[in-house]
Amino acid sequence: MKKLIMFVSLFCIVSVAAGKVSTRVCFTDSNTPLVPFDSNLPNVEYPDIMVGTKLMIIVDSNVAKYWSGSLTIEGANMDYGVLSCRDCNEAILDCDGSVLPAAGERAQVEPWENTGVRGYDLYTDSRNITPGDWFVIDYVATNIGLCNVGFYDHSVSPFEPSRYLTFSHVPTRDFDGDTVVSFGDWAILAQYWCTPFCNGPDWCEGADIDRDHDVDFGDLTLFTDYWLERTQPPYVDYCAGSFAGVE
């Protein structure tokens, strides 16, 4: 019996270590990974990000095999986040810039949209595929709340996501809209310090971060948590190999 358990355990380890197509997420401005709370759970939840934050979702693989899948946002989730591809050729519905070299020369990223769902289908080449980063799709947080991005592996099911990537969006601290949380935003917070009459939708230019109608130490704490972070930063290349292995 003990040998059987050992064999089954070994088999499981080998299965997990076998070929795998996964996702990882990075901030667009710095290639810094956004590390999930627990990458081993079926659905991957990420720490809070500010509204306006731009991320990259990279689909990578440790095997060289043909693969197809999708990234989608559906239903009410579309009110909170938006996916986009790079260098979209609308005439042929293909996004060259979202295809990375390891996916093969003829790999494709195809945008599509139906009622209540928008997404991108991802196809590797049938040849010349190598392990590594295959595709990159951009994501931006557009509203306060949760957004579930569906990741489909068509070899598992073309109809049900293999997992959801869940992003949690909190109010921006970039009150002056210059894409970085810095002294200009600090000045706005100071301007409203101890103001007791903040109301939506303005919330004292956003300085009442916790939306409790005043600007006090609670807001200051929430503000400093994001000091010098960026929202919609300049475009940079995808985060090649910076954090392989995290789903």
Site residues (vs Ca ion, CB under 5 A): 174, 176, 178, 184-185, 208, 210, 212, 219
77: left (phi over 0), alpha (psi -120 to 50) or beta: alpha
In 3-state terms the chain splits into helix, strand, coil percentages (rounded to 5) of 20, 30, 50
Instruction: Give the nearest distance from C-beta 240 to Ca ion in angstroms.
Output: 29
Q: Which is nearer to Ca ion, 60 or 208 (CB)?
A: 208
Instruction: Give the nearest distance from C-beta 176 to Ca ion in angstroms.
Output: 4
Rounded Cα distance between 191 and 207, Å, is 9
Tokens representing residue 183 in the block = 């002294």
Rounded Cα distance between 210 and 214, Å, is 9
Q: Which is nearer to Ca ion, 96 or 210 (CB)?
A: 210
Q: Which is nearer to Ca ion, 50 or 95 (CB)?
A: 50
Of 225, 187, 188, 221, residue with least CA distance to 203: 188
Instruction: Give the nearest distance from C-beta 25 to Ca ion in angstroms.
Output: 23
Tokens representing residue 55 in the block = 């991320």
What is the residue-wise DSSP string for 108-137? EEEEEEETTEEEEEEE--SSS--SEEEEEE
What is the residue-wise DSSP string for 49-91? EETT-EEEEEEEESS-S--EEEEEEEGGGGGTEEEE-SSEETT
Q: Is the previous residue joined to 234 through a cis bond, with omega within 30 degrees of 0?
A: no
Q: Which is nearer to Ca ion, 162 or 231 (CB)?
A: 231
Instruction: Give the nearest distance from C-beta 227 to Ca ion in angstroms.
Output: 11
Q: Which is nearer to Ca ion, 67 or 223 (CB)?
A: 223
Q: Which is nearer to Ca ion, 110 or 216 (CB)?
A: 216
Rounded Cα distance between 187 and 178, Å, is 13
Q: Which is nearer to Ca ion, 184 or 241 (CB)?
A: 184
Note whether 63 and 239 are within 8 A (CB). Answer: no
Instruction: Give the nearest distance from C-beta 180 to Ca ion in angstroms.
Output: 5
Instruction: Give the nearest distance from C-beta 74 to Ca ion in angstroms.
Output: 32
Instruction: Give the nearest distance from C-beta 198 to Ca ion in angstroms.
Output: 7
